[in-house]
Structure 1
Amino acid sequence: MDLVRSTPDDRRRRRAGHEEGLKREPGSRRLKNSEKNRSIVVDLARLDAVDWLAGSSGDGAPGRTRQDSERASGGGRGAESHVQPAEQVSVLAKAMATETWPRISGRLDQVTPHPRDVRRELAHHGWCDLLVGMIRVIESVNGPLRALSRMPASLIKDAILTSSAQDARPHVTAAVVGLVVDEVWRAFIAVACGGGSPFGLLGGEEALRALRILAVFICPAPRRHPEVRRYALKPLGEDVHHILTAQTEARLAELFAEWLP
């Protein structure tokens, strides 16, 4: 999120550096389908999201008021206080990671004899898989976000345990996943449904957008994580706010199967 608070010139310089690193097929404008190009294009997509968040924090931003959010989530009326998308992402990140990790870490030795291995393996796409699971649950809810409190967390746990990255996490067992999901899901519900939120309730699309951006930001390598591309990155291009530029989407379509028609 530090990049969101940087100057436009800083972001333009970073983008120019990425652009210079792209390699094309000889005698063609088509990008080489290389690991380096895939990494650069994903970084450019991240910069698109950063630019959108930074732009949405200024005048005319698509931020919501507490009153708007309560209506979208099925809540009542409330005092208005504008909340911009960048703050929504930051608050969710703090609530779900910074505030839950001490409790999770303190209880790991109760569910596994290998807590150090678990901590290391969770860094291998464990957290972005968690966000993908949450995204998929929210997508399945046809109604206000308040209905999430009745959704079984097992759907999120299954998304982690069946992830393409799970084979590299042998110590992240069902018991470990249960501990992590229960803590993080409880924190998310508190924020999204208003109980522990400093800015009121999130609407469903707001929650999905914030979680998708967060998943793309924290994933160590979206180019190697198809679930993040399918459930987080690609939907950002389809978002009503056009978070990804047309150029970025065209490049993603050249390099990743998820963008094929």
Structure 2
Amino acid sequence: MTHPKSCERAKRHQCRCSDCGGAQHGWPYGLDLARDPSPTGRQEARERSDIAWAASSPPKGKRGPSKQRQAAATDSATVDLIEWLSENPQTVERIQEIGDLLTGRVVGELDKRFGGDRPRETRRRLTEHFWCDLLVALAEGIEEFSKAMDRIPEYVTAAIIDSRKAENRSPLLEALVTLAVRTAWEPIKDMIRAGGVEELQRTCRILAVLICPAPEDHAAVQNGALLPLAQEGMLEISRERLEQVFPAEWVRRLRDDLGGA
């Protein structure tokens, strides 16, 4: 798949790439940074997020946090996860494997079934948080049905459709969602047997954060990826920033998970 580097290295919190349909947004560069033996790239990414945070204004009065402040907070968390990945190369390779599955086999099947003469139009519709929805739902489905694997694709399909409806995102054909889920599921099921449930959940969650164009605008990623990852892959400063920009219920759940800290 021909793909512009501007999408892989995206700094703006949006994606309209009809080349990949959002399936290659952000995460290839995130893995490049994690693999780089030099810390320079990761340090520069952290400096950018720190500068953006410092430049954003804290909320005043009854006004909530600005979009710029929310974006800076999620960028800070993303840099933490990339730093964590730099010390966990096995997870990097699993993320690469799942990312390649999405950009290759899954996108290919969707193009064949739904692309017609204008595959770019179909792909463009997927840029609105479809892939991060898919990854978060997979992580949750694995946890929910780890002892009943055959039920996971059905659960994931329903979770994606319900999530998009709840967040007022553009609807997608159920057949398209089902095909994407089932195409991704068979190889992922083999990965569960090889690496275990917990590791694959972590892999899907980190990839969901890396691939999401704007986690601050995506409740499924906030609750299904950033919240569980905050316990193991984030610095205290990033957790504090997220607490300042995310809803009170998210903060309460985070503190409960951290033992009431």
CA RMSD in angstroms comes to 2.4
Q: Deviations over 1:216-240 (max 9, x none)?
A: 00011100000111001110012xx
What is aligned with 2:218?
A: 225
After TM superposition, which residue ranges in structure 1, 4 or more long, deviate above 6 angstroms? none
Q: Distance in 2 between matches of 1:139 and 1:151?
A: 12
- 1:32-66 CA-partner distances (Å, limit 9, x unpaired): 81110110111111110100010223xxxxxxxxx
Hey, which of these two has a bigger chunk of helix by percent? 2
Alignment of 1:58-207 (within 5 A): 84-109=90-115, 116-141=120-145, 143=147, 147-148=148-149, 150-164=150-164, 167-170=168-171, 172-193=172-193, 201-207=194-200
- CA offset at residue 191 of structure 1? 3.0
Matching of residue 236 in structure 1 with residue 229 in structure 2: yes
Looking at CA atoms only, which structure, 1 or 2, has the larger radius of gyration?
Answer: 1
Residue equivalent to 2:47 = 16
Give the distance between the partners of 2:168 and 2:118, measured in 1 at CA.
16
Unaligned runs of 5+ in 1: 58-83, 194-200
Q: 1:94 to 1:114 in 2, by over 3 A?
A: closer
Partner of 1:65: none
Change (3 A) 1:102 1:34: same
Q: Secondary structure of the equivalent of 1:153?
A: helix
1:36 aligned residue: 68
- Aligned residue for 2:195, secondary structure, equals coil
2:58 and 2:69 in contact (8 A); partners too: no
Mapped to 2, the partners of 1:25 and 1:94 lie a distance apart of 39
Number of residue pairs matched? 214
The 8 Å contact of residues 146 and 197 in structure 2, kept in 1 or not, is answered as no
Alpha-carbon contact 1:122-1:169 (below 8 Å) kept: no
Q: Is the 8 A contact 2:205 2:225 kept in 1?
A: yes
Q: Distance in 2 between matches of 1:109 and 1:95?
A: 18
Displacement of 1:206:
0.3
Work out whether residues 133 and 156 of structure 1, in 8 Å CA contact, stay in contact via their aligned partners in 2. yes
Counterpart-to-counterpart distance in 2, 1:26 and 1:92: 38
- Specify the code of the residue in structure 2 equivalent to 1:205: E
- Partner Cα separation in structure 2 for residue 109 and residue 54 of structure 1: 37
- 1:212 alignment partner, one of 197, 205, 211: 205
Letter in 1 for 2:91: P
Q: 1:179 to 1:246 in 2, by over 3 A?
A: same
Q: Which amino acid aligns with 1:225?
A: H
Give percent identity, aligned residues only. Answer: 30
CA contact (8 A) 1:95 1:188 kept: no
In the TM superposition, residue 256 of structure 1 has moved relative to its aligned partner by 0.2
